[in-house]
Amino acid sequence: MFRWFPPFLATNIPRSVWDPAQYNPNWPDSYGHEISSRREWPARKWSVGLEPRTPREWLQFSYRNLAYAYNGALRACQSLPSMLLLYKEMKQRGVKVDVDTMNVLLTRAARYEHIRVDDIFLLFDELTSLGARADLAAAETLHIVFNHSAAMPLEWREARRRQLIDLYNDLALEEIERLTPHHVDRLLMEQMRRYRNNLRLLDAGLRPAVYCRYFHVMNSATLLLEEVHNFLWDLVPSDHPAMEVPTLKLRVPFVASVLKRPSTQCEASHCIEGLSRDDFEDKDVCGVFLAAAERVVDAEFEDVRPMSERRVFLSLLTMISYSGVLYTSDLMAHLMEMVKYSRSNKTRNTDAQRLLRYAVRGSSAAQDDAYRSMWHSVEKVVDGRVVGRYISALDPWNPIRICFDEKGMFKSYPSSFRASPKVELEREDGAPMDDQCGTRSSEPHEETRPNDALTGFTTTLPQKTSEACTVEALNMRWEDIKRLVELTGALVAPSSEHSPQQYKMEVFTGMAVYLRTVATGQRYDSGGDGFGSASDVSSCSAVDLSTGAEGRDLNKRSLFAEGYSIQLWVRIFSLVQEIRSNVE
């Protein structure tokens, strides 16, 4: 009888049930199961979503949609135990927890009265290992939990403290990369201040690598100097001794007393043998200063009130010297390169000599002879780059000696070889007032008058005459250059992985640039403020450049300096051949 009425029975079954083409997401079972096992209890293997069996179900299945469903269901739970049931299922199926769900889980776990403190951190570890990406809210939740864990063992607290420090530093790097394309320096600065304040509660600070990346993306010179200042205060407690710098309106802390350095109490020979650059934390601090100095020359700043490159340079140099760190060759070489390409003709010489004196000494701290001797055994501060760029930065006919004396001072040449009988002293705005910041001549030559001793910060040299540009004057300066190279040992120092042999080539480059400047009367820029231009008072020309227009036209016409004798030209080209033979 039933054989004759199949259509009448089939009309009561909905088509979506028996036709796989009509996919019903609410249907609890997979069509891949046999019909006999499809009604067994429990009907569904998972509480959220199906387990795909057929090819069509696999096409309609995605882990992303499954994650959306699970994370939504997890956030909709009313209690932590019900959340943990779903969370266990997510782990079994390999579904990732998103950042919002992780924050909900952590905050509910932190408020749950029957949970242990250690389990909250273990839950966070499990979440991150399963692919959840932490954010600042999760880190601060863990920080609050850590503050309430005084009953835990000291080893556990120290391990979790270090975990929080690493977490904050990683999040700071992510925040820098996220906000960099948007050029929001103020917002980024506030975020970094938040990380800094949280880390200060953990007796720590942002890593130097974070600051290096941070400085490279800054677009404001004012904020850059402020953040360098904040970095120095990160290294020391708030009651640490500091030096007031009125020109910078900052208090620069003396960080050398808290940096990690090898002990000076051990045997000298043993210390020297086992030392490396990594034993000194000064290397990382100088790396941060180097990142700030590199940012100064990488691109233009976007300050509303622009700050000159020299002012930024002097501010950085003041913070470097007042902090008391041991200088690295990379930092000194980059600062010397900034001086080398400086457009300020009045201050280039004094800046270069001040920087060379800092590099030769190795640090600016008063009583760190033991540390400096250990540091010089592992780091050649005055390497070929520093010496070569120093020679390149000099005005060839400057009356101040190129090489320092045994006391580290730069004296004057005899007046018969000087460019002029009188030197006018000026001070540029923004130069910090300290005893070490200018080029000094402690014992002026007998032929010079007492008021000619150079004690100041900025020397403005009057226009020289051809009588001062003689072969004897050039020979005296060239001997000074040779003596400087010999004293610093830039060419004879053994090469290392950190200081390869190629750095020594910069010494010859500096000599060649020096002779080129003598021969052409011009520096790198032939504009209005370059060496040899009409506004440059140190050009060695017998022609009177009375007006700026005539001077510019003359500079465009002349390829070489004028007013030299034929003997001087012969000497210049013989020195060029000498450099070439030395290089070969």
Question: 115-165, pLDDT tens digit by residue?
Answer: 999 999 999 999 999 889 999 999 999 999 999 999 999 999 999 999 999
- Residue 40 in tokens: 């067994």
Question: Is pLDDT of 239 > 70?
Answer: yes
Give the pLDDT confidence score for residue 22 in this predicted structure. Answer: 64
Average pLDDT over residues 521-540: 51
Give dist(CA 506, CA 385) in Å, integer: 5
- Is the confidence at residue 545, as pLDDT, over 80? no
The answer to whether the beta carbons of residues 418 and 412 sit under 8 Å apart is yes
Tokens of 75: 């956030």
Domain locations in the chain as residue ranges? 207-382, 468-522+561-583
Q: Quick one: which of 93, 92, 90 has its CA closest to 72?
A: 90
Q: What is the mean pLDDT of residues 213-225?
A: 96
Question: 50 falls in which pLDDT band (50, 70, 90)?
Answer: confident
Element (H, E) at 302: none
The dihedral through the CA atoms of 147, 149, 154, 156 has a sign that is negative
Residue found by looking up tokens 């020359």 in the block: 297
Q: Which amino acid is at 456?
A: G
Encoded tokens for 5: 């009425």
Q: Decide if pLDDT at 28 tops 70.
A: no
Question: Where are the strands (E) in 322-386, listed by range?
Answer: none
Give the tens place of pLDDT for each residue, 407-445. 888 899 887 666 543 333 343 444 443 443 333 333 334
- pLDDT band for 13, please (50, 70, 90 cuts): confident
This prediction has a pTM of 0.80
Q: Are 164 and 139 in contact (CB under 8 A)?
A: yes
Q: What is the mean pLDDT of residues 75-86?
A: 94
Could you tell me which residues are beta bridge partners of residue 459? Answer: 425
Least reliable range by pLDDT among 77-86, 129-138, 266-275, 548-557: 548-557
Judge whether residue 213 has pLDDT over 60. yes
Q: pLDDT digit string (tens) for 161-185?
A: 999 999 999 999 999 999 999 999 9
Is residue 540 within 8 Å of residue 563, measured between CB atoms?
yes
User: Taking all residues of the chain, what is their mean pLDDT, rounded to a whole number?
Assistant: 83
pLDDT at residue 12 greater than cutoff 60: yes
Residue 77 has what pLDDT?
A: 94
